[in-house]
Amino acid sequence: MQESVLSLSHVVKQYGDFTAVNDISLNIPKGSIYGFLGPNGAGKTTTIRMILDIIKPTRGEITILGHSSALDVRTGIGYLPEEKGLYKKMKVWAIIQYFAMLKGMEKKAAKQRAWTVLEKYGLKDFAEAKVETLSKGLGQKVQVLSAVAHAPELVILDEPFSGLDPVNQGVLEELIRDMAAAGQTVIFSTHVMQHAERLCDQILLIAKGRKIFDGSVAQAKATIPRRILIETNSDISSLRDIDGIREILILAANPVTGNAGQLWQLQIQQQVNPQLILKTCFDKGIALSRFEFTEPSLHDVFVHLVGDDARERAAR
């Protein structure tokens, strides 16, 4: 079993009658990139605050870097809060140095480190600028750097990608990968599935404060059936006999191409090879005008698992 840097056991947070986080348990292995996914208001930030011991859980236990409170291992943690803000009057390099020093770095080393990370992640030209002169995105980048400049064992980023342009999202992804490669554990929360899909070894999916899923991205994808789209005028009833096809659904005629051909969706089981189905189609003489196999994306998983819930919240 891998060494665990953070584990939550039946953690509950209640505000009066409202339960923000309901019975969440998880285990995060060292060196992994771990995503907290969930719709707005799912309880991601509350969970993160409890992990950091900024607020106390109503029930349950949290073990972080072998301690019961994050305050005991402060220097080993880097944290980027959801709402971004920095001291407006300070210079970029000075603020990174300051936060690194608060995390226990020596003054000189902290300054050197500030310049190193600024250079590495493309902010060297802004090092002498005051924070108030930076754009929102740049400011956010600075804040991420100030959170991780002291090379903490565990990095917790709350919505780090929000407000960044695609290029800088790429830079941030690179930073997260670099940290994981250096053996640091990274936890980040997001509701943008693409980042999680590209980056995460493991994800936690929560909605309404409840854990819906916890595991690897592949496992997450396995929770929804794989699908093949075929378009044909032939009779496809013979396909029903193939092992591993769970269900065949008839969809409306292709709305895009306007073809007369009928559109079908085959839901297949995990172990089934789509090539086999294609071969069967040829063997049975089914004339295909389209055969499309796609892996489900994390987005599909997300919508599948929490879609109804998220819509309900949005409608409220």
Partner 1 sequence: MNMIRLIAWREFMENVRTKGFWVGILLFPVMLIGVVFLQTTLSRATPTRYYLLIDQSGQYEQAVATAIEREHQRRLLQEFVNYLLENRKEVNFEQTPVNASSAVDTLIEDVDADEVAALDQWLDAGGLNFALTMASPYLRENAPAFTPPAYQFVEAPLPAAVNRDGTPTEIVEALRPYLTGAQQISVNGRSEDLFALILIPENVDEFIARPGPVPTTGSVSAGIQYWARNLTDSRLPDAIAASINSEIRNSEYIKLGINAEQVRTVQRTRLPVTQLDPSAAAGEEAVSMADTFRQYAPMGFVYLMFVSLMQSVQYLLSNTIEEKSNRIIEVLLASVTAGELMMGKLLGIGLSGLTTIAVWLLSFYLFINFYQSAQTELIGEIVGVILGSELIPWFVFYYFAGYALYSGVFLAIGSLCNTLKEAQALMMPMILIQIVPIAMMAFVVLDPNNTIVRILS
Structure tokens at 266: 């085959």
**Strand 262-268 versus strand 226-232 pairing type:** antiparallel
Q: What are residue 203's DSSP bridge partners?
A: 35, 215
* Residue 89 near partner 1 by CB under 8 A: yes
**Strand 4-15 versus strand 59-64 pairing type:** antiparallel
Total residues in contact with partner 1, by rule CB under 8 A: 25
Structural contact between residues 43 and 20, judged by C-beta atoms closer than 8 angstroms: yes
Task: Report, in Å, the least distance between residue 71 CB and partner 1.
Answer: 7
Answer positive or negative: Cα dihedral of 121, 122, 124, 130: negative
Binds partner 1 (CB under 8 A): choice among 90, 224, 229, 303: 90
Q: Which is nearer to partner 1, 71 or 251 (CB)?
A: 71
Binding mask 136-175 for partner 1 (x = CB under 8 A): ----------xx----------------------------
Footprint (CB under 8 A) of partner 1, residues 54-83: 54, 70-71, 74, 77, 79-83
Footprint (CB under 8 A) of partner 1, residues 205-234: none
Task: Report, in Å, the least distance between residue 201 CB and partner 1.
Answer: 24
Task: Report, in Å, the least distance between residue 82 CB and partner 1.
Answer: 7
182: Cβ contacts below 8 Å, ≥ 6 apart: 151
To 5 degrees, how large is the angle CA 268–CA 271–CA 276? Answer: 70
The per-residue b/e assignment along 206-244, b for 16 or more CB within 10 angstroms, e otherwise, is: bbbbbbbbbeebeebbeebbbbbebbbebebeebeeeee
Structural contact between residues 203 and 297, judged by C-beta atoms closer than 8 angstroms: no
CB atoms within 10 A of CB 50: 24
Q: Which is nearer to partner 1, 90 or 303 (CB)?
A: 90
Q: Which is nearer to partner 1, 80 or 193 (CB)?
A: 80
Task: Report, in Å, the least distance between residue 88 CB and partner 1.
Answer: 8
Angstrom distance (rounded) from CA 295 to CA 282:
22
Q: Which is nearer to partner 1, 146 or 185 (CB)?
A: 146
* Residue 87 near partner 1 by CB under 8 A: yes
Binds partner 1 (CB under 8 A): choice among 21, 52, 142, 305: 52
Binding mask 93-132 for partner 1 (x = CB under 8 A): -----xx-xxx-----------------------------
63: Cβ contacts below 8 Å, ≥ 6 apart: 4, 6, 7, 9
Contact positions toward partner 1, by CB under 8 A? 49, 52, 54, 70-71, 74, 77, 79-87, 89-90, 98-99, 101-103, 146-147
